[in-house]
Structure 1
Amino acid sequence: MTTQATTPREPMLKARGLRKAFGRVIAIENADFDLYPGEILAVIGDNGAGKSTMIAAMNGAIRPDSGKIWLEGREVQFRNPMEARDAGIETVYQTLAMAPALTIVDNLFLGREYRKPGIAGRVFRALDRGRMRAEARRQLSDLGLMTIQNIDQVVETLSGGQRQGVAVARACAFGSKVVILDEPTAALGVKESARVLDLIRDVRDRGMSVVLISHNMPHVFEIADRVHVHRLGCRIAQVRPSDISMSDAVAIMTGAMAPPAEQAAPGPTRSQE
Structure 2
Amino acid sequence: MIIDATIDTATPLLRVEGVTKRYGANTVLNDVSFDIGHSEVVGLLGDNGAGKSTLVKIMSGVVQMSSGSYTWEGQQHDTVNRALTEQLGVETIFQDSALVPQMSITRNLFMGREITNRLGLMKMKQMDAITSEILDTVVTIEGIKSSKQLVASLSGGQAQAVAIARAVHFKRSLLILDEPTSALAVRATEALLNYLRQLKSEGVSSVLVTHNLHHAYQVCDRHIVMNHGRKILDVRREDTSVEELTAAVVEGAVGVERFRTGAF
TM-score, reference length from structure 2:
0.83
What is residue 193 of structure 1 aligned with on the other side? 189
How many angstroms apart in 2 are the aligned matches of 1:216 and 1:241? 15
What is residue 267 of structure 1 aligned with on the other side? none
Q: Deviations over 1:168-213 (max 9, x none)?
A: 2211232311111000111234333223322333333332111001
How many angstroms apart in 2 are the aligned matches of 1:43 and 1:50? 10
Matching of residue 99 in structure 1 with residue 100 in structure 2 = yes
Matching of residue 133 in structure 1 with residue 128 in structure 2 = yes
Query: How far 1:7 moved relative to its partner?
Result: 6.0
Preserved contact between residue 160 and residue 183 of structure 2 (Cα < 8 Å): no
What is residue 228 of structure 1 aligned with on the other side? 224
What is residue 54 of structure 1 aligned with on the other side? 55
- From the superposition, tell whether residues 169 and 182 of structure 1 become closer, same or farther in structure 2 (CA, over 3 Å): same
What is residue 211 of structure 1 aligned with on the other side? 207
Paired residues, what number? 250
How many angstroms apart in 1 are the aligned matches of 2:40 and 2:46? 19
- From the superposition, tell whether residues 115 and 234 of structure 1 become closer, same or farther in structure 2 (CA, over 3 Å): same
SS at match of 1:20: strand
Matching of residue 250 in structure 1 with residue 246 in structure 2 = yes
Q: Residues 22-101 of structure 1: matches in 2 within 5 Å? A: 22-101=23-102
- When the two chains are superposed, the root-mean-square deviation of aligned CA atoms in Å is 2.6
What is residue 271 of structure 1 aligned with on the other side? none
Query: How far 1:235 moved relative to its partner?
Result: 1.6
How many angstroms apart in 2 are the aligned matches of 1:143 and 1:39? 20
Query: How far 1:228 moved relative to its partner?
Result: 0.7
Preserved contact between residue 20 and residue 28 of structure 1 (Cα < 8 Å): yes
Preserved contact between residue 39 and residue 210 of structure 1 (Cα < 8 Å): yes
SS at match of 2:53: helix
Larger relative helix fraction: 2
How many angstroms apart in 2 are the aligned matches of 1:27 and 1:13? 21
Preserved contact between residue 43 and residue 222 of structure 2 (Cα < 8 Å): yes
Query: How far 1:237 moved relative to its partner?
Result: 1.6
Query: How far 1:51 moved relative to its partner?
Result: 1.9
Preserved contact between residue 17 and residue 68 of structure 2 (Cα < 8 Å): yes
Percent of counterpart pairs with the same letter?
34
TM-score, reference length from structure 1:
0.81
How many angstroms apart in 1 are the aligned matches of 2:184 and 2:130? 27
Q: Deviations over 1:80-112 (max 9, x none)?
A: 323312221111011211123322211111122
SS at match of 2:193: helix
How many angstroms apart in 2 are the aligned matches of 1:234 and 1:246? 20
With 141-150 and 193-202 compared, the bigger mean Cα shift is at 141-150
